Chain A
């Protein structure tokens, strides 16, 4: 059974996950939630009640922009990265890589 990620870790990196998913194409909320669960193979699951407030917060900060677009015979609200969001994503990604490398260096040490 895959370990459940620490709640704080998830909370702290929720913005990074969403920004990363929007890097190459706009997506709507339902799709974002599904993708996070799928790509993490069920390890990371976003409670939907947290996802939408998070999207609205990112939108208020100007990191993403939501717009209604037709999809599947109805309109849906798609979120895309803004320039500011891209810069934030880049910064957060650097921080994450640095952090995860540091953690790996500690936990992956093998003793001869």
Chain B
């Protein structure tokens, strides 16, 4: 004989009803099983077959348990009494939550999340290097006479006057940091005169072309953005028109004649990386932003002056038969191109390569014109190499953009999922804890905890995906040896990321639709509950 009641009791437990009512239900369901079993036996079935047929009446005991409780109590089964795969009684739900938290131990995951904390809809940089943060760094730096930290403040403080003050202190402590004056050469504010800073830089580093390029940029009035744009129209004019302005021509002459070119990119990279590490900001995006804000001379102006040397002076001299004078002009442009290419990353190097190409082409042509074909033939391979290198670098930038764009989209998508599911998992955790403490605290809590039980495992999966999508870009900033390496490996990704933020990816594609769905779902749930409550009250009234 089968113990039907025990069989049902085991399968329906726990059934949090009054003991007498629970026993009645168990007995009644047991009788159903027993009757079906007896009927099957009477029909000629074997004992195991009859038992199987009887039990087959209840395929899902968990469902029966929930339905019975709901029918008797007019409420959902308390979430802690549920035994479904997403019940908080299941260890794997908690395991998923713990594993999600454990992912924080991974540097790459923390870095991915920190990346997503980039303020929505704002400039990529402004809030990260906020005045408040930098003021705090400056105070500490003054106390500890930390010239590098002061220089960092000078380079990044949004208030140019405060930045200049920090620069003066940093240079006073360590004159080797005078190169930070370059920042103030392009100050776009009427409250600061760049001239003394450029003069200081020229005095400190007289053999460098860079301070003279910054001085030439003053012709374009960097203090007024609008005016700079308006005046940029002048750049479209032929070079010989621009060079009529001595404010532009004289510093450019010195720049192109200077024995070396150093835009201080390397010094700046070292300083930014060191201070960011000291401040505990081991994030490549911050390093990119820090290094990327360095002053770059007006590249159009450089091209214009190179054109002036090669086309206006060189070609004119060549046509007039003054070959030596023409060769000298081509040589000046070429020499400047070599120096600039060696010392510059990114787009500056491409411009330098263009200047070299242009001057080499003219030198080769001039040599042939002079009947010096052998010397021309010696130069031609270099010219071919320059063409190839230029094409390769330009192509590399484009291909990096495409793959980095895809990666950035994935990181953003999974990042938003992680944030949304993280919030849901926290709410689920709060509800579950409250319900553990007081089982009947709130039917709303109970329903929410049952519905949101999917959040912890989903959070774990989304976190894994975020980690995986971001993994190729996970780096400690001390892994980068130069700004060029940093930009080559990560800039396309970060530009895609920030570009998508700027294009409203966050707001238009994910955040607002999600919020709308939540609002619509909430309104729908409240309405349905109201209708259900009304119908129930009407039916009771009818009785």
Contacts and interface: CB of A to CB of B under 8 A. Distances in A.
Interface of A: 28-30, 33, 47-50, 52-57, 60-63, 66, 68, 74, 76-77, 84, 87-88, 91
B18 interface: no
Looking at chain B's contact residues, the main secondary structure is helix
Nearest to B72: A56
Contacts, number: 62
Nearest to B63: A49
Given A53-B71, A77-B24, A61 B57 contact: no
A84 B543 contact: yes
25 contacts: A28-B31, A30-B31, A30-B32, A48-B32, A49-B57, A49-B58, A49-B59, A49-B67, A52-B29, A52-B64, A52-B68, A52-B71, A53-B67, A53-B70, A54-B71, A56-B25, A56-B71, A56-B72, A61-B539, A61-B543, A76-B31, A77-B24, A77-B27, A84-B543, A88-B543
B374 interface: no
B64 A53 contact: yes
Contacts of A62: 543
Given A49-B67, A52-B32, 11 more contacts: A30-B31, A30-B35, A50-B67, A52-B28, A53-B67, A53-B71, A56-B25, A60-B71, A61-B540, A63-B543, A77-B27
- Chain B's interface size range is 20 to 34
Contacts of B31: 28-30, 74, 76-77
B74 A60 contact: yes
B245 interface: no
Contacts of B67: 49-50, 53
A49 B56 CA distance: 10
B351 to A, nearest CB: 72
Interface in B51-85: 57-60, 63-64, 67-68, 70-72, 74
A28 B35 CA distance: 11
B71 A77 contact: no
B409 to A, nearest CB: 42
A-B pairs, top 9 by smallest CB distance, nearest first, are: A56-B71, A53-B67, A53-B71, A84-B543, A57-B71, A48-B57, A30-B35, A49-B64, A56-B72
Contacts of A84: 543
A87 B28 contact: no
Contacts of B540: 61
B3 interface: no
B370 to A, nearest CB: 97
A87 B64 contact: no
Interface string B29-48: 10110011000000000000
A77 B74 CA distance: 21
Contacts of A53: 64, 67-68, 70-71
